[in-house]
Amino acid sequence: MPNGIRELLRAKTRDQHMRLHELIDLKIMLGSRRTYITALVAYLRAIRPCEAAVAFFSSCNPSIAMPDYKDRLQKSNWLGSDLISLGESVPDELHAVPRRDSISLATAAGYAYVMEGMTLGATGMLPRFERSLGLSASDGANFFAAYGSETPQMWKRFTAWIGQIDASQDDVVQAARFAFAQFEREFSSWNRTELSLLEDPSLHA
């Protein structure tokens, strides 16, 4: 696949990317540990079904799977460990994705593009959580620490892989838009709920 898939993905998902930037309100997340925890749950609900699908494809097709897939497909575990370290339980529900046995290389690549991009962006938020909420990679913010100092290199290896896979560009884009929609749904609900609580005068009496 030509390297232009990266530019195509950026162009075709730009609208969803911008909406997510608006929905994932850092001021709300920094407001308290409670709002931070509810954001972690939204991340988990969006990521877990897509990650499960990519993990199934990768384990069945390791020769064409994204590089370091066993290390990358830990995001749900990171989020679960963060919730547990903050004294919360890990939700069980899993939103539907296409049947795992129907996941193609293009679908796995599209889902992974969104998850890896989200991971890259999340690392820039870690210092704010450390300063404002007293969190760290080992205490409530493992997800935002991601791959640590290896994060930029992990992204480079991923984009090199997605630029050369033999798959339909349209199918990769369709899968990426589906994954973005997962995030939009979860964070739309999170944003509305948290804003309504912030604006409830009975909570500030």
Q: How far apart are CA 142 and CA 123, in angstroms?
A: 10
Q: In this predicted structure, what is the pLDDT of residue 94?
A: 60
- Which pLDDT band, with edges at 50, 70 and 90, does 92 fall under? confident
Q: Cα 22 from chain centroid?
A: 15
Listed residue (107, 128, 124, 126) closest to 177, CA to CA: 107
Residue 52 and residue 97 in contact, taking contact as beta carbons nearer than 8 Å: yes
4 compared with 82, residue with greater pLDDT: 82
For residue 200, name the pLDDT band (cuts at 50, 70, 90): low
> 187, 20 in Cβ contact below 8 A?
yes
Residue pLDDT, tens place only, 17-62: 999 999 999 999 999 999 999 999 999 999 999 999 999 999 999 9
Distance CA(143)–CA(79), nearest Å, equals 6
Question: pLDDT for 170-190, tens place per residue?
Answer: 999 999 999 999 999 999 999
pLDDT at 196 over 90: no
* Single-letter amino acid code for the residue at 39: A
